[in-house]
Structure 1
Amino acid sequence: MEPWVRFSAQSQARERLLRAAQYGCALAGAALQRNGASAEVVARVRQLEAHLSLGRKLLRLGGSADALEAAKRAIHLSDTVLRFCLTLSHLNRAMYLACDNVLWAGKAGLAPAVDQEKWSQRSFRYYLFALIVNLSRDAYEIRALMEREAGGQRAKGAEAGRQQQQRRRAEAGLQQLGLRLQLELRLLLRVLRGNPPLLLDVLKNACDLFIPLDKLGLYRSSPAFVGLCGLASSVLSILTILHPWLKLKP
């Protein structure tokens, strides 16, 4: 009960709940339409989805300032790659949220002259850049952990000896390549299994990536798939709020 009380007290948590509901509606609307539901029912689900989206925009007002503060903190990280990736990610997120605030003002009637399509495209571009940087950071973390894990195995000697023996048995270059890929895959799975925060961050960013790709027309996906990806990433985000140890740090 205590984690849930702490969860519900955070505006970010409420925004994540609305996000999960929004993409759940998108998924439900696509399923209803595919199964031949009446146009009225589908329209109501789509309207609910739009209201949830507007509510999320309201909760994200002022989020740009938080993102800028996070970027300031990231500048002082000792690791050069992490410093670059996190600072750039937070800056892109700040721009994305700023565009989102403009969209909210337009939809709320405070700035009716706002070009919704232009600002929406601009917002999704910043969102896409932030996700690409986040995935780059994840790849860097994975590579560093894989090298550390491989180094530990070489120190023990047993695993390295088995790998060398297997390589000697390989007679052709293609076999050696296949063996190396197999060993790398095993190492990758071991690293991700041993680091749940990193695994969740990779899955969340990978799911989110399809949303701006679809909105920008770079990679078209079905509404059901986009809804499923958004719902999955929202659930993963909620997990990291309920259980802070699952959030990737820094």
Structure 2
Amino acid sequence: MEPWVRFSAQSQARERLLRAAQYGCALAGAALQRNGASAEVVARVRQLEAHLSLGRKLLRLGGSADALEAAKRAIHLSDAVLRFCLTLSHLNRAMYLACDNVLWAGKAGLAPAVDQEKWSQRSFRYYLFALIVNLSRDAYEIRALMEREAGGQRAKGAEAGRQQQQRRRAEAGLQQLGLRLQLELRLLLRVLRGNPPLLLDVLKNACDLFIPLDKLGLYRSSPAFVGLCGLASSVLSILTILHPWLKLKP
């Protein structure tokens, strides 16, 4: 009960719950439409989805300032790659949230002259770039951990490694490549299994990636698939808030 009370007291947690509900409505609406539900029922589900989206935008007011503060903190990281990726990610998130605030003002009637289509496209472009940078950071973390894991294995079994190398030289080129890829895949799975925060971050960013790709028309997906991806990434985000040790640091 205590984790849930701590969770519900956070505005970010409430926003994640609304996001999960929003994409759950998108998934349900697509399923109802595919199964021949009445137009009125589908319209009500989509209206609820729109209301949840507007509520999320309200909760994200002022989020740009938090993202800029996070970018300032990331500048002081000692690792150059992490410093670059995290700073750029937070800056793009700040721009994305700023565009989102403009959209909220337009939809709430405070700025009726706002071109919502233009600002929506602009928002999703910043969102997409932030996700690409996040996935690049994940790839860097994975590569570093794989090299560390492989180095430890070589240190433990140098003699076995020399014997393997001799066998590899005797094998054909394609067979050697296949064996190497198999070893790399096993190493990747071992690294991800041993680092749940990194695994969750990769899955969350990969799921989120399909949303701006679809909205920008770069990779069209079905509404059901977009809703499923949004729901899955929202649930993963909620897990990292309920269990802070699952959040990738820094």
Shift of 1:167: 4.5
Shift of 1:163: 7.5
Report the CA distance shift for 1:75/1:47 in structure 2 as closer, same or farther (over 3 A). same
Shift of 1:172: 1.2
For residues 144-223 of structure 1, the aligned pairs below 5 Å read 144-157=144-157, 161=161, 164=164, 167-168=167-168, 171-223=171-223
Shift of 1:92: 0.1
Unaligned runs of 5+ in 2: none
Report the CA distance shift for 1:163/1:121 in structure 2 as closer, same or farther (over 3 A). farther
Q: State the alpha-carbon separation in 2 of the partners of residues 140 and 122 from structure 1.
A: 28
Q: State the alpha-carbon separation in 2 of the partners of residues 138 and 103 from structure 1.
A: 30
Query: Could you report, residue by residue, the CA deviation over 1:58-107 in whole angstroms, capped at 9, with x for unpaired residues?
Result: 00000000000000000000000000000000000000000000000000
Report the CA distance shift for 1:39/1:143 in structure 2 as closer, same or farther (over 3 A). same
The percent identity for this pair of structures is 100
Shift of 1:9: 0.3
Unaligned runs of 5+ in 1: none
Report the CA distance shift for 1:162/1:225 in structure 2 as closer, same or farther (over 3 A). farther
Q: State the alpha-carbon separation in 2 of the partners of residues 227 and 167 from structure 1.
A: 49
SS at match of 1:47: helix
Runs of 4+ in 1 over 4 A off after TM superposition: none
Report the CA distance shift for 1:112/1:142 in structure 2 as closer, same or farther (over 3 A). same
Report the CA distance shift for 1:205/1:130 in structure 2 as closer, same or farther (over 3 A). same
Would you say the 8 A contact 1:26–1:224 is kept in 2?
yes
Question: Which shows bigger deviation, 149-158 or 167-176?
Answer: 167-176
SS at match of 1:44: helix
Shift of 1:162: 8.0
For residues 1-250 of structure 1, the aligned pairs below 5 Å read 1-157=1-157, 161=161, 164=164, 167-168=167-168, 171-250=171-250
SS at match of 1:201: helix
Would you say the 8 A contact 1:167–1:176 is kept in 2?
no
TM-score (norm 2): 0.97
Query: Could you report, residue by residue, the CA deviation over 1:138-188 in whole angstroms, capped at 9, with x for unpaired residues?
Result: 000000000000000011016952882584376211101100000000000
Question: Which shows bigger deviation, 59-68 or 156-165?
Answer: 156-165
Report the CA distance shift for 1:137/1:160 in structure 2 as closer, same or farther (over 3 A). farther
Q: Aligned residue pairs: how many?
A: 250
Query: Could you report, residue by residue, the CA deviation over 1:125-147 in whole angstroms, capped at 9, with x for unpaired residues?
Result: 00000000000000000000000
Would you say the 8 A contact 1:170–1:176 is kept in 2?
no
Report the CA distance shift for 1:157/1:61 in structure 2 as closer, same or farther (over 3 A). same
Cα RMSD for the two superposed structures: 1.4
SS at match of 2:90: helix
Would you say the 8 A contact 1:138–1:202 is kept in 2?
yes
Report the CA distance shift for 1:69/1:171 in structure 2 as closer, same or farther (over 3 A). same
Q: State the alpha-carbon separation in 1 of the partners of residues 44 and 189 from structure 2.
A: 43
TM-score (norm 1): 0.97
Q: State the alpha-carbon separation in 2 of the partners of residues 141 and 66 from structure 1.
A: 24
Would you say the 8 A contact 1:153–1:159 is kept in 2?
no
